[in-house]
Amino acid sequence: MEYRQLGASGLKVPVLSFGTGTFGGGTEFFKAWGSTQVEEATRMVNRCLDAGLTLFDTADVYSKGMSEEILGKALSGLRDKALISTKATFKMSDGPNDFGSSRFHLVKSCEDSLRRLKTDHIDIYYMHGFDGNTPVEETLSALNNLVQSGKVRYIGCSNFSGWHLMKSLSVSERYGWSKYVTHQAYYSLLSREFEWELMPLALDQKVGTVVWSPLAAGRLGGKYRRSNPAPADSRIAQGGGEGPVIPEDYWFTIVDTLDELAAETGKTVAQVALNWLLQRPTVSSIVIGARTEEQLTQNLGAIGWNLSKEQVARLDAASNKEPIYPYWHQRKNPDLNPLPV
């Protein structure tokens, strides 16, 4: 297992981390992701640790806390061998203060997560989304207090826009508070918008990227292609996917290229798609998920080898998408705005 430094922090994380959104299946939405229970979760956690995959990612909102509870039980007796990341911000109930990034909500959410995870600290604590109703200063002050108390080691954000992240970094610097060292972001061959602004920002500010949904909710897992489109009962059709509808021609053009490279490398389509991500700028770790131990084992095969520069270029070309304004305008002047390499 390769380890990379997480942004400007001193923390080293494995290039693959395990996402536990499939643990629990406690709501209709998360049933479409998976419903792994404690026994199988424990086997998966041990399989990960055996492979050197030591970072486990969850969130309070995943199955309304069930994912955290199951992960905590699966890591019983193994906490010192693992890194845990979890998140807060989204609604946990209908209470007026049970969502967002206020000091009130974050302190409560952190305590609740610690209890469910059966641990005394969280290694990486993410803001699951930006809260435009709470002053950034209040959020970052609360997070800094959690770090100083020892309940949180590092802080990160997820699903922020460029100005959300840059303002947060500026406020932290102004007051000498803990900074976001990582941004957990939606990024894959099918969704390269991250490269337009968030990747250059991450390079400039030394923020490590942790990628979520690297296989685009299973679209790049090798199961679907032109000759075998997604059926009505698939995870995508059931609402387990994320983001806007992706045109099938664009999707399957990428899968066609993945099929070619899988044949050339002797790897699976999913392994090729994950390996492409591991060669992108700013990427510190990729969150892989799995409904079964077999899927987990296959995803672990994405490391220990690399696509060639020529193969990466073919995937770049197949997945190229015209950017929106102002990025198309900036790309007319590459001498002023060079692309990340």
**Which tokens is 288 given?**
């892989």
62 catalytic residue (yes or no)? yes
Distance CA 281, CA 166 (A): 18
**In sequence order, which residues have a C-beta less than 8 Å from that of residue 74 and are 6 or more positions away?**
38, 41, 42, 44, 45
Distance CA 36, CA 293 (A): 10
Among 25, 152, 27, CA closest to 88: 152
Residue tagged active-site, from 62, 125, 126, 154: 62
Partnered with residue 155 across adjacent β-strands are 125, 180
Within the chain, residue ranges assigned H as helices are: 28-31, 38-50, 66-74, 103-117, 136-148, 162-175, 198-205, 248-265, 269-278, 293-300, 309-318, 327-330
Distance CA 332, CA 79 (A): 50
SS3 call for 271: helix
Strands 55-57, 16-19: pairing kind: parallel
Please name the residue that has the structure tokens 């994380």. Answer: 13
Distance CA 115, CA 120 (A): 8
Judge contact between 258 and 232, C-beta under 8 A: no
Nearest 5°: CA angle at 152, between 146 and 157? 95
**Which tokens is 213 given?**
């949904």
**In sequence order, which residues have a C-beta less than 8 Å from that of residue 36 and are 6 or more positions away?**
20, 22, 23, 24, 25, 44, 70, 291
* Catalytic positions: 62
